[in-house]
Amino acid sequence: MRRLFGSVRARAALGATLVVAVALLAAGAAVLLSLRSNLVEQAGTEAERVARTVAAELAGGRAYGDLDLDDETPVQVVDKDGTLVAASEGLERISGTGTNAVTPRPAPSPGRTDGHGGDDRDDRDDDDDRDDEASLEPGEIGRETDFTEGSATVDGHTEDYRFAAVEVDADERGRFTVIAGGSLDAEQSAVDSATTAMLVGFPLLIGVVAGVTWLVTRRALRPVEGIRREMAEITASEDLTRRVPEPATHDEVARLARTTNETLAALESSVERQRRFVADASHELRSPIASLRTQLEVAAAHPELLDLDGAVEDTVRLQHLAADLLLLARLDAGERPADGRVDLAALAAEEAAGRAGVRVDMDGPLEVAGSRGQLARVLANLLDNAARHARSAVVVTTRREGGSAVLQVSDDGDGVPVADRERIFERFVRLDEARSRDDGGAGLGLAIARDVAERHGGSLTVGDGPAGGALFELRLPTV
């Protein structure tokens, strides 16, 4: 069960089904309530019509026995004392009207005295004096209609009814309340039929929605399954040259496939760079280690032939190369520069001090945020590179330009060809074909300088210098 509903397709189908089910239930309930309300209102209207017809006959002076009472509709005529004076024939039982009597009792005749020595008319007049807003004029029918619900048995048939009660003043006979019922049987039948239709139709409709959603979601997610399957095969084979299939659509799945392929391409490039890095690092380390070993073996066999200066030089080269590799490893791991403030102009003057042929032109202090040690390594690498290729002079200039600190290192050498201006920042790249280790380093200096500059939110580029050589420009945000 958990595996089934762990599927996006199953969850989408279940969610759509639940939403449709809730919507159908709400709509069905609203329809049933509206249908019942309308039918109940119709029954009340019919009951009110019958009650007012009988009330009009009473107001016209018709006798109780001559009233036109429908045999199929329960009708009660009640005087002001609650006595049933007329009822429809066949009425056997009634409830919900305020009086359960079904057998009429004759009312006192006009002029007949009651037990208090007065006539009914005088008593009614006294009662009417106490009734202000509810009083009716002789022969008048009340405008208000009271509705109740109950049941009645007529000729052996029991049904639910909506009762309408109307008051009428029958002049000398006094005030009466006419109660008539409108059958709710049609309402109940219609509601029952609608409920049955919903109970049968709703499950079928919900099933159709669930099936359609399942099929549509399956079709929509089929490319995703293809992407997942291909990614699983790529992981198993470790072949980063493979790519996932891209659907010929313009939806989210197609964008997912394109992004996945871009990620695979970037990963392939990263792995390739790492492979080349390891190969180049091994190549660079092999030579000084082999040279040092040879010198030590010769010294062990012939101590008088020990080239101590050469051994020290190879050891220093190994030390510098190990330090460069360690710094690159930290940069690749995402190490953030220290949170400090560095005066770039003062640091440039400090690094240039003692170097022959280097001139520094400073334009005041330039504070930047970052690691003093790493920025010093950038300046040292730029100065070493310029000194290696310059004929006679290296110029270092600093200035503020907007919100950036700009440091330039230029020389009067041969410069860098346009085609190689990005390539020289790659690791272990030297433009000399001989890869001489006597004239240059391992080809890591400029790569380290650019990586450090970018980690500090800046940039490092190369162009043409004013003296015809190369001009390296370092830009860092000021603080």
- Least confident range from 242-246, 272-276, 423-427: namely 272-276
Q: What is the pLDDT of residue 432?
A: 58
From the list 369, 362, 320, 322, the residue with the least C-alpha distance to 345 is 362
Q: What is the pLDDT of residue 348?
A: 94
pTM score of the predicted model: 0.50
Percent share of the chain, pLDDT over 90:
34
Q: What is the pLDDT of residue 478?
A: 92
Query: 404-411 and 367-369: which strand pairing?
Result: unpaired
Q: Mean pLDDT over all residues of the chain?
A: 83
Residue 106: band (very low, low, confident or very high) from pLDDT cuts 50, 70, 90 = low
Distance between CA atoms of residues 379 and 394, nearest Å:
13
Q: What is the pLDDT of residue 437?
A: 45
pLDDT at 229 over 80: yes
Task: State both tokens at 7.
Answer: 């599927």
**Average pLDDT, stretch 28-49?**
89
Distance between CA atoms of residues 471 and 449, nearest Å:
14
Q: What is the pLDDT of residue 450?
A: 94
Percent share of the chain, pLDDT over 70:
90
DSSP line for 170-211: -GGG-EEEEEEEEE-HHHHHHHHHHHHHHHHHHHHHHHHHHH
Q: What is the pLDDT of residue 116?
A: 36
Per the listing, tokens 């930047």 go with 368
Are the CB atoms for 119 and 113 separated by under 8 Å? yes
Residue 261: band (very low, low, confident or very high) from pLDDT cuts 50, 70, 90 = very high
Q: Which residue has the higher pLDDT, 428 or 471?
A: 471
pLDDT in tens, 133-162: 357 788 888 889 999 999 999 988 899 999
Q: What is the pLDDT of residue 433?
A: 45
**Average pLDDT, stretch 29-38?**
87
Per the listing, tokens 């871009």 go with 262
Distance between CA atoms of residues 312 and 314, nearest Å:
5
Residue 441: band (very low, low, confident or very high) from pLDDT cuts 50, 70, 90 = low
User: Residues 30-41, buried b or exposed e (16+ Cβ, 10 A)?
Assistant: eeeeebbeebbe
Q: What is the pLDDT of residue 425?
A: 92
pLDDT at 393 over 50: yes
**Average pLDDT, stretch 373-386?**
93
Q: What is the pLDDT of residue 224?
A: 85
Per the listing, tokens 């790659």 go with 426
Q: Which residue has the higher pLDDT, 332 or 142?
A: 142
- Least confident range from 29-43, 117-131, 343-357, 401-415: namely 117-131
Q: What is the pLDDT of residue 167?
A: 93
- Least confident range from 62-71, 360-369, 415-424: namely 62-71
Residue 339: band (very low, low, confident or very high) from pLDDT cuts 50, 70, 90 = confident
**Average pLDDT, stretch 192-221?**
86
SS3 at position 133: coil
DSSP line for 284-315: HHHHHHHHHHHHHHHHHH-GGG--HHHHHHHH
pLDDT in tens, 70-103: 778 899 999 988 889 999 988 899 999 888 888 8
Domains of the chain: 1-235 (no CATH), 252-332 (1.10.287.130), 341-477 (3.30.565.10)
**Average pLDDT, stretch 375-384?**
94
pLDDT in tens, 168-204: 998 788 899 999 999 888 888 888 888 888 888 888 8
Q: What is the pLDDT of residue 420?
A: 92
